[in-house]
Structure 1
C-alpha cells in the first residue's frame, strides 16, 4: 500500500482564531480523499499546519476519519506538554518548522528537551530547517536521542546542492540509521518552477536516491499552501519515476520505507 508521507489537513471546526494566517479552505479530509483516489495512495501522514500552533486536534481528528491503520500524524508541541497529553496523542512524531523562525510555533531551544520527552514513546522528530540551520546545529542533531526526519530533501539550496555541508551531515545520520529524508516540496527550492516541472531539483533528489534509498519516503505536500499556481498531484508523484527510475526503489520509497518509519503493516 502506497503512502503519501506529507500532507496538511485544514478544518475550521478546529480553528480557535477564525482569522488565523495561513488557513486554507477546501483542504479537509473529504477533499484529500479525492486526491488519494487520483494518485492511488492508500496511506498518509498528516502534519499539523502552522495556523493551529500547538493544537493538534485537527490532525488527531483526521487520523480518526481516515483510520489509524492507514493514517499517522506529526504534531507540533512545546516541551511543557504533559506526559498524559503525550500518551493520549497517536500522532507518532513531533515537527519543528524553523525554516523561517520568526513565524515558527517552536524554537531551537525546545528541540533537545522535547526530544528527550518523546524518545521513550519511540516517536521521531521532524525538522523543517534550512541547510544552514542544519550545519549550525550539527552537534545538537548528533546528540538527539530520537530518530529524525528531514523535510523537503533537507532543503539543500539549489546553488550548492550536494556540495552543501548539510548533505553530508544528513547522509551520515541516515547511514547510521538515525534519520530519514522526505522527497517532497520540489517547488520550494526550484528556479524553473511548475512550467519547468521542477527539473532543476532532480539532481538533488537523485542524489538522495543514490545515497540512501532505504531511508527515503515520498510526500505530496498537499494542499501546496506556498504555491499560487498549484501543481497537479499526479504530476508530483510522476516525478518520482524520474528521480528513482527502477520499480524496486520506488516500491521501497512508497511502501516499505514508510511502513517501517510510521509503523504500518507490511
Structure 2
C-alpha cells in the first residue's frame, strides 16, 4: 500500500481493532473471534465513511503479542496510530521502536479481571517509561472502578484515556457509582474519554442512545470538547451480528452534536493526543 503520510486529514476514528484467526491467542481471554478483521477491510471502512485516519487498539484476546498491529502501522505509514498491550518488564528499546512506528499509548484492558494495585512497586517501571515517552495509558474497566484506578496513576502524571464512556450501565443512569466521580476527573486536565461503543452500555438500543446523549452532555460540561473523541470500535467484537461501522456512525449522528463538538470528537482531540500531522 502507498505511503499515507501526506493524506489530507478529514476525520479520525480513535478506536478500532485488526486481527486474524490464525494469530496466537492469549491463554487468558474472554472471547475468541471466529472471523478475520484485516487491515484492508478496516481501511475500506474508513474510506467509505469519510474517515482519513484511524487508531488501532490491541484486542485483549491477542494479549501482549502486538506484531499484527505493528505490521499494520508499517503498512500505511502516517495514516494510523497504535495503542498496545505490554508486559510490565518490557524494555525501553522495545517501546522506542514501537514509538517510531506510530504507537502512542498502552492499554490496560481490565474487563473481567481482578482489580490491580497500580500503586504497587511492580507497576512503577512500566508506568515511568510510558510517561518518559509521552504516551498515554488507556483504561478499559467498568465505571465504578475508574476513579480508583485514576487516583493510583496520578503520582506518575500520566495522560489517561477512558474507553467507551467508562463502560457505565445505561440502565442505571448518570447517578450510578463511579460516573459522578468520572465527571469530576475532567477538571484535572490529564484525562480524556472515548465516547465510543454506545451498543456496549448494557441497555436496549434506545435506552443506550438516550444515556449516551445525557452522558455526552455531562462529559462536555466537565471535560470540554477538547478531551473527548469518538471511535467506531470496529469490528465490534461480540456484537458483530448487530453492529457495523455504518451502525456506529448512525449512533454518533443520532447524538445530535453541535458543529464545534463534532469537530472535536472527529478531528481535533485525536489529532493532538495521537500526534497526527
> Do Structure 1 and Structure 2 share a fold, with TM-score over 0.5?
yes
> CA 1:23–1:176 in structure 2 vs 1: closer, same or farther (change >3 Å)?
same
1:74 aligns with 2:70: no
Query: After TM superposition, which residue ranges in structure 1, 4 or more long, deviate above 6 angstroms?
Result: none
Distance change (3 Å), C-alpha of 1:76 and 1:138:
closer
Match of 2:24 among 16, 19, 23: 16
Confirm or deny that 1:201 pairs with 2:183. no
Q: Matched residue of 1:118: which SS?
A: helix
Corresponding residue SS for 1:126: strand
CA distance in 1 between counterparts of 2:88 and 2:70 reads 19
Q: Following TM superposition, by how much is the alpha carbon of 1:116 offset from its aligned partner in structure 2, in angstroms?
A: 1.4
Partner of 2:13: 4
Provide the residue aligned with 1:56 in structure 2. 66
CA distance in structure 1 between the partners assigned to 2:257 and 2:105 by the alignment? 30
| Secondary structure of the corresponding residue to residue 56 of structure 2 | strand
* Alpha carbons 2:234, 2:244 under 8 Å: kept: no
User: Counterpart of 2:186 in 1: which secondary structure?
Assistant: helix
Larger mean CA deviation between 24-33 and 239-248 belongs to: 239-248
Paired residues, what number? 260
Q: Identify which range, 171-180 or 88-97, moves more after superposition.
A: 171-180
1:125 maps to which residue?
137
- Gaps in structure 2 of 5+ consecutive residues: 1-9
Summarize deviations over 1:45-99 as a string: whole Å, max 9, x none: 00111222111111111111232x2210000002200111111113110000002
Over aligned residue pairs, what C-alpha RMSD do you find?
Answer: 2.6
Contact 1:134/1:166 (8 A) holds in 2: yes
1:124–1:146: 8 Å Cα contact kept in structure 2? yes
Structure 1 residues 8 and 139, CA gap change in structure 2 (3 angstroms): same
How is 1:111-150 mapped onto 2 (pairs within 5 angstroms)? Answer: 112-150=124-162
Give the TM-score of the pair, scaled to structure 1: 0.87
Distance of aligned partners of 1:143 and 1:18 in 2 relative to their CA distance in 1, 3 Å threshold: closer
8 Å contact kept, 2:54–2:79: yes
Partner of 2:228: 216
- Counterparts of 1:108-257 in structure 2, within 5 Å, are 108=118, 112-193=124-205, 198-212=209-223, 213-257=225-269
Deviations 1:161-208 (A, max 9, x none): 332453343333332220100011111114113x77744433223322
Q: Which moved more, 1:42-51 or 1:227-236?
A: 227-236
CA distance in 1, matches of 2:156, 2:48: 38
> What TM-score, normalized by structure 2, do the two folds share?
0.83
Secondary structure, aligned partner of 2:229:
strand
Contact between 2:184 and 2:222, CA under 8 Å: does it hold in 1? no
Distance between the aligned counterparts of 1:199 and 1:78, measured in 2?
38
Secondary structure of residue in 2 paired with 1:35: helix
SS for the counterpart of 1:92 is strand
Quote the residue 1:65 is aligned against: 75
Q: Using the alignment, how far apart are the partners of 2:151 and 2:211 within structure 1? A: 31
**Secondary structure of 1:31's match?**
helix
